[in-house]
Amino acid sequence: MPTMRYVILHGPDGLEYVEMPATHAYQLSALMLRLHKEIGKLTADNVPQLPRICAECSDLELLDPSASIVSGLDFMTKLEREFAAIREHSYPLVSLLTEIRALLAQLEQWYEEESQA
């Protein structure tokens, strides 16, 4: 069983718990910090509301029955769709999308390798 980490995010709908391979969790944390730094520069009218990163941890036991863990692959796929839909003309959005897509591709490869192991 691979080692997983959990990235805890706080968004408009409350807390999100994203399960990431331990080897990639720091990348999600760094990406979210960068996106928050840059999102204020976007001028489009359809910029998504990003959750803020709260914490990273190795173990997570959810006690709230309504809470659930989201796979890193699902989270990154949703994030990529949201950013790909932004109609931005003033800010070079392609650099942010490139970073998102790079991590998404790494996760897709990781999950594929894990499913074959």
70-97 pLDDT, tens digit each: 999 999 999 999 999 998 887 788 889 9
pTM above 0.85, yes or no: yes
Kindly write down the DSSP assignment for every residue of the chain, as one continuous string: ---EEEEEEEETTEEEEEEEETTTHHHHHHHHHHHHHHHTT---TTPPPPPEEEEEES------TT--EEEHHHHHHHHHHHHHT---SSS-HHHHHHHHHHHHHHHHHHHHHHHH-
The pLDDT of residue 1 is: 65
Residue 35 has pLDDT above 90, yes or no: yes
Instruction: Count the Cβ atoms, other than its own, within 10 Å of residue 47.
Output: 19
